[in-house]
Structure 1
Amino acid sequence: MIDLRHVSKRFGGHTVIDGVDLSVEEGEFVVFVGPSGCGKSTLLRMIAGLEEISSGDVWIGGERMTDAEPYDRGVAMVFQSYALYPHMTVAENMGFALRIQGLGAAERRRMVEAAARKLHLDHLLDRKPAALSGGQRQRVAIGRAIVRDPKVFLFDEPLSNLDAELRVQMRIEIARLHQTLANTMVYVTHDQTEAMTLADRIVVLRGGRIEQVGRPTDLYDDPDNLFVAGFIGSPRMNFLPGVAAGPDSVRVAGLEVRVPGLSSRLAPGQEVQVGLRPEHLTATEGVEVPLAIEVVEQLGAMAYVHGSLAPDVPVVAEWRSGRPRVGERVPLRFDPRDLRLFDREGRRIR
């Protein structure tokens, strides 16, 4: 278990991590996501002991590790760069930390071979990094962490140097590895698709603070604020300006729509942002709005159509019936239950 207790990090007068409180359960896979510069890698390095903590405490496995050296924390880190020794074989790279610890050659070989089997590297142990593909090199870097038998695995954007196909393959490998080892894993990425597919829970960061923590489906279906709603999901949620027309209705895109299930009462004339995901704009029945198609992104079995419902209000809709064409005017339909409302400060109205 990892406990971050009001952890902060300052560089001079600039605060990059601002009073973060977070608990990661034993065996959990937690992913940090957020835009560049939000502090996700810094927070990971603070857990690893590679970055000094300005204030607060880090606890790992029930022990206070705030001032402990990295090698005493029981963690292993996999970096964006493979950082393999080019003159060493795969087996030598994976077993290097064990050699430093003073383990004998036979014991090292046994532990390296066990880790290699988990990662399907056992036939590559005598090769050097130059003879490996990018995905194989990344698996060696992960294997180097596995042989240490750590309590916690920390991943800092490990797939960002790989091409699209390899990223998908390695995502599956890492998910299988977590199922096999059942270790606690903390993973940093800017790719919310990786976060959605890998995580037990996602931590969304912005400006050194946590915006929301939850299961991937919870963040997708029930975001706490405008930032999380726009960050989680690809393509992002559509946001349309609206005005409250009554205690539970809004005027949006020239229509008055009642929003069922609201526990808060809207003030007439209150400005709101109305969120609607692209897949919710092609309902078979519901409120209908016309869209003039300006751009089509054809993806084979489906397409994304882009247009505007009002000047300077772009909209993206998922399209799964037929082949839409640029210039075509099509009816979009949505169920009012799929609307998400946000106030002027970006807070969710529930």
Structure 2
Amino acid sequence: MARIELESVTKTFGGTQVIHGLDLAIEEGEFCVFVGPSGCGKSTLLRMIAGLEDISGGEIRIDGDRVNEDPAVERQLAMVFQSYALYPHMSVEQNMSFALRRTGTPKAEAREKVRRAAETLQLTEYLDRKPGQLSGGQRQRVAIGRAIVREPRAFLFDEPLSNLDAELRVQMRFEIAKLHQQLSATMIYVTHDQVEAMTLADKIVVLRKGRIEQVGPPARLYGDPDNLFVAGFIGSPQMNFVAVTAEADGLRLPDGSLVASPVPLDRLASGRRYTLGIRPEHLSTEGAGERLSLEVDVSENLGAANIIYGLMSGGTRVLVEDRSGRPISSGERIEVRYERTRSFLFDAEGARIRG
């Protein structure tokens, strides 16, 4: 297990800076997920930690030792890529033991390490097969096994599930989470999928345009986002955002109705515009609380819930995850309700206003 620290880390390609002075600490045994949209710098940051990409400024430390100039092989980190990168002419056992054979590990020791890793990953019966005889999920497990046998100081995953179909992604998420519990290893995982981030991470790092927007446990980022970007990125379906105007007796919605503010009104400037955030799962056609009037555009019955796509007067779209069981039809006018304390308020710059 390793503790990994980044201090004022920057990266520049030509004259363009893509990583902007990041500070971050990843603790021993922690499962840390880098998440963000395409182009936010998450894979670049992972490659800099791995030693596959030079840093332009700042410092990277592993267990307190500066590793800026250390080549990848000396950092003792194992990386699992989006592509499986398996040798098609080698068996599963040969693929998993390849790095050990390259470093002169005795055959008996290498065989025992492969055996243990294969048992952990449920690959024992496939050791004699070639990669072409395996499913996508099995090939990804072989790639992970190849990393395990090296007994690295930390595991780095670069979008390892992107090439799998939806069912296999769910299965592999479970297997990676179980692997972390078994190994108690430090893991850094890159994904653009916030569902993967929420289900796997001890700590999530939300990145945008090469900067850290917020760091924290999944529940904190979901329930206490620092800004509009994090609020919209974490949570599925995405949070609803409604433009409102602060007045003396509440927040004025685009359709002219009033709702209560989640923060004291004396914290707000009367007449100024803000953004009200409400998660779809916190809206319901039943119960008490603040009201929104919607015209149903589309209603999708998923069994456990109705996903309602509604429009407020003025054209603001609102998504509702309704679990009341009430049938909803397109074109219907409905009222949905939410608790004021479960809504969020953001200023014009997107910063969260807390009560």
Decide whether the 8 Å contact of 2:259 with 2:291 is kept in 1. Answer: no
1:236 and 1:299 map into 2 onto residues whose CA distance is 17
Select the residue among 213, 219, 237 that pairs with 2:215.
213
Q: 1:263 Cα deviation (Å)?
A: 9.1
2:291 and 2:153 map into 1 onto residues whose CA distance is 54
State yes or no: 1:308 paired with 2:315: no
Q: 1:261 Cα deviation (Å)?
A: 4.8
In structure 2, what is the equivalent of residue 331 of structure 1? 335
In structure 2, what is the equivalent of residue 290 of structure 1? 293
2:127 and 2:31 map into 1 onto residues whose CA distance is 28
What is the TM-score when the length of structure 2 is the normalising length? 0.96
Q: 1:241 Cα deviation (Å)?
A: 0.4
Decide whether the 8 Å contact of 1:44 with 1:188 is kept in 2. Answer: yes
Could you say if the C-alpha distance between residues 161 and 241 of structure 1 is closer, same or farther in structure 2, counting changes exceeding 3 Å?
Answer: same
Unaligned runs of 5+ in 1: none
- SS of structure 2 residue aligned to 1:123: helix
Q: 1:284 Cα deviation (Å)?
A: 1.1
1:6 and 1:28 map into 2 onto residues whose CA distance is 21
Select the residue among 41, 44, 58 that pairs with 2:60.
58
Q: 1:154 Cα deviation (Å)?
A: 0.3
Moved more, 297-306 or 217-226: 297-306
**Mapping of 1:139-218 within 5 angstroms?**
139-218=141-220
Matched letter for residue 327 of structure 2: R
2:266 and 2:209 map into 1 onto residues whose CA distance is 29
1:142 and 1:22 map into 2 onto residues whose CA distance is 25
Decide whether the 8 Å contact of 1:245 with 1:256 is kept in 2. Answer: no
- SS of structure 2 residue aligned to 1:10: strand
Matched letter for residue 314 of structure 1: R
Could you say if the C-alpha distance between residues 264 and 170 of structure 1 is closer, same or farther in structure 2, counting changes exceeding 3 Å?
Answer: farther
Q: 1:281 Cα deviation (Å)?
A: 1.3
Decide whether the 8 Å contact of 2:262 with 2:344 is kept in 1. Answer: no
Q: 1:131 Cα deviation (Å)?
A: 0.3
Aligned residues: 349
Could you say if the C-alpha distance between residues 290 and 257 of structure 1 is closer, same or farther in structure 2, counting changes exceeding 3 Å?
Answer: closer
State yes or no: 1:21 paired with 2:23: yes
Select the residue among 226, 233, 236 that pairs with 2:235.
233
In structure 1, what is the equivalent of residue 120 of structure 2? 118
Decide whether the 8 Å contact of 2:7 with 2:22 is kept in 1. Answer: yes
**What are the Cα deviations for residues 75-114 of structure 1, in whole angstroms up to 9, with x where unaligned?**
1000000000000000000000000000122111101001
What is the TM-score when the length of structure 1 is the normalising length? 0.97
In structure 2, what is the equivalent of residue 95 of structure 1? 97
2:77 and 2:193 map into 1 onto residues whose CA distance is 24
Moved more, 334-343 or 318-327: 318-327
Decide whether the 8 Å contact of 1:28 with 1:185 is kept in 2. Answer: yes
